[in-house]
Amino acid sequence: MVDPAGFQVGLIAIIFDSTNADVFQVTEVQPRITSSITQRDIRHGQQEFQQAYGEGSTVSLINYSGYYGRRNGGPVPPQVDAENVPGDNVLISEIVADDIEDLQIRLVLDDGDGTGRSGIDNTTLARVRQLRIYLARPESASDPQWSEAPELYNHTTLPGCVDILHSPPRRY
Amino acid sequence: MLAGRRRALAFRALRDAKGECPVIPRSRLMAGCTVLSRVYLDRNHDRVGHPRIAAERSFTTFISQQKAYVVQNAVAEMQQEPERRNAVSGNGCAKRGYGLPPRSAMRSRHSVGGGTISMISGLGISDGGTTGSDNLYIIYLSSTATQIADSMPNVSPRSRWWTRPVFRWD
């Protein structure tokens, strides 16, 4: 039996209303026949949702990719990886860019102020106007033309990669 | 006056000379010693000095070529890196947010650390703390969205809920 909407065990789906969303893995799909309509019975088996979603909340399969910086240490160059979840709950990781030692994101609000933290409430989320993505790449020498002060975002210290070549760049 | 053959190259300025001090003629006896010393230096130039000059010239050529190669390689890397980044993320960026609310607090077991993600127009952001990398997620719907028919009884991970039929079962 095939669900035309594509729900299958192992796939990644999302349920959301106007304020909250939860990403989950489908663990069971069964038809539920009633006298008037045919329904799908979908079960999830992971963490609790943020809330008990009400009638009319939307559910769908999603495409989902995550990007993050990885510091390998030693002679292995740092890199930005992408993790995709195409199905079966298997995270497939691939290198997007070499020699990127830090990835920071800054949310710029409507008043020009910014925050480097996520998990902000929906009121603050509604005020976001820009996303600034900051990638730090190690260099063997400082750029004499660079006059802007280093952006720490919510780091307490400047990443060492900015002024020190931690590992040799990968050569192709 | 430095000891050495005529037209020989001076490697250091006269003021920096230490061992090879300027020759100051004194007596004949001392002059003889000076001649012996000059011969000794001449032999050094023949055996060491001239091959050293040749080696320095060849290494200088190699170093300049190597610098040019390194610069070309670095430029190629600079050009290739953004292209690869754009190729991978461009498709997802074009579709991000499709079918999703413009902003919501999203929680995902599949996020790094499994915490709550702030989702804005399909871009999910989670904080890496004061030392770690932040995380960026690109999310969009991949199938026809449907609605749940009844309110969920609770937030239990074992909860069972139903979707309204968009299509009939085959």
Confidence of residue B1 (pLDDT cuts 50, 70, 90): very low
Instruction: Say whether both A45 and A75 belong to one domain.
Output: no
Distance CA B8, CA B20 (A): 14
Distance CA A146, CA A108 (A): 23
pLDDT score of B40: 39
Does residue B38 carry a pLDDT above 50?
Answer: no
Tell me, yes or no, whether A3 lies in a domain.
no
Query: In chain A, which residues have their Cβ closer than 8 Å to the Cβ of B67?
Result: none
| Residues 148-167, chain A, touching B (beta carbon < 8 A) | 153-156
CB of A73 less than 8 A from some CB of B: no
Q: Structure tokens of A30?
A: 């069964």
The larger pLDDT score, comparing residue A51 to residue A2, is at A51
Domain C-terminal end among A61, A80, A101: A61
Burial of A7 (0-12, 13-18, 19+ CB in 10 A): buried
Instruction: Say whether both A71 and A146 belong to one domain.
Output: yes
Q: Which of B106, B123, B125 to substitute to test the interface with A, most A CBs within 10 Å? A: B125
Mean pLDDT lowest among A22-26, A29-33, A162-166, B1-5: A162-166
pLDDT score of B146: 80
Cross-chain CB nearest to B109 (options A47, A63, A169): A47
Instruction: Say whether both A85 and A127 belong to one domain.
Output: yes
What tens digit of pLDDT does each residue of B2-12 get?
555 666 555 55
CB of A96 less than 8 A from some CB of B: yes
Tell me, yes or no, whether A33 lies in a domain.
yes
Number of domains in chain A: 2
Tell me, yes or no, whether A22 lies in a domain.
yes
Tell me, yes or no, whether A94 lies in a domain.
yes
Name the minimum distance, in Å, from the CA of B124 to any CA of chain A. Answer: 8
Query: In chain A, which residues have their Cβ closer than 8 Å to the Cβ of B122?
Result: none
What tens digit of pLDDT does each residue of A94-147 get?
888 887 777 888 888 888 877 766 667 777 777 888 888 888 776 666 667 765
Mean pLDDT lowest among A124-128, B41-45, B140-144: B41-45
Tell me, yes or no, whether A2 lies in a domain.
no
Instruction: Say whether both A150 and A84 belong to one domain.
Output: yes
Instruction: Say whether both A16 and A30 belong to one domain.
Output: yes
3-state secondary structure of A98: strand
Summarize the confidence of residues A22-31 as an average pLDDT: 76
Instruction: Say whether both A120 and A80 belong to one domain.
Output: yes
Please indicate whether, in this complex, the C-beta atoms of A23 and B107 are within 8 angstroms of each other: yes
Summarize the confidence of residues B35-62 as an average pLDDT: 43
pLDDT score of B55: 44
Instruction: Say whether both A92 and A108 belong to one domain.
Output: yes
Tell me, yes or no, whether A111 lies in a domain.
yes
Instruction: Say whether both A127 and A74 belong to one domain.
Output: yes
Distance CA A137, CA A69 (A): 11
Confidence of residue A154 (pLDDT cuts 50, 70, 90): low
Q: Are A28 and A68 in contact (CB under 8 A)?
A: no
Q: What is the mean pLDDT of chain A?
A: 71
Tell me, yes or no, whether A171 lies in a domain.
no
Please indicate whether, in this complex, the C-beta atoms of A52 and B170 are within 8 angstroms of each other: no
Cross-chain CB nearest to B118 (options A82, A99, A118): A118
Domain C-terminal end among A61, A78, A101: A61
The larger pLDDT score, comparing residue B133 to residue B82, is at B133
What tens digit of pLDDT does each residue of A87-103 get?
555 567 788 888 777 78
pLDDT score of B42: 38
The larger pLDDT score, comparing residue B88 to residue B169, is at B88
Note down the domain range covering A36: 12-61
pLDDT score of B166: 43
Instruction: Say whether both A50 and A127 belong to one domain.
Output: no
The larger pLDDT score, comparing residue A82 to residue B46, is at A82
Query: In chain B, which residues have their Cβ closer than 8 Å to the Cβ of A120?
Result: 118
Given the structure tokens 């304020």, which residue do they identify?
Answer: A19
| Residues 151-170, chain B, touching A (beta carbon < 8 A) | 151-170
Domain C-terminal end among A40, A61, A82: A61
pTM for the whole structure:
0.58
Instruction: Say whether both A125 and A147 belong to one domain.
Output: yes
Cross-chain CB nearest to B107 (options A5, A22, A153): A22
Distance CA A39, CA A126 (A): 35
Instruction: Say whether both A74 and A128 belong to one domain.
Output: yes
CB of B79 less than 8 A from some CB of A: no
Tell me, yes or no, whether A146 lies in a domain.
yes
Cross-chain CB nearest to A5 (options B107, B143, B159): B143
What letters, b where the CB count within 10 A reaches 16 and e where it falls short, cover A29-63?
beebeeeeeebbebbbebeebbeebeeebbbbbbb
CA neighbours within 13 Å on the CB side: how many for B110? 33
Instruction: Say whether both A24 and A49 belong to one domain.
Output: yes
Q: What is the mean pLDDT of chain B?
A: 60
pLDDT score of A66: 83
Distance CA B120, CA A131 (A): 9
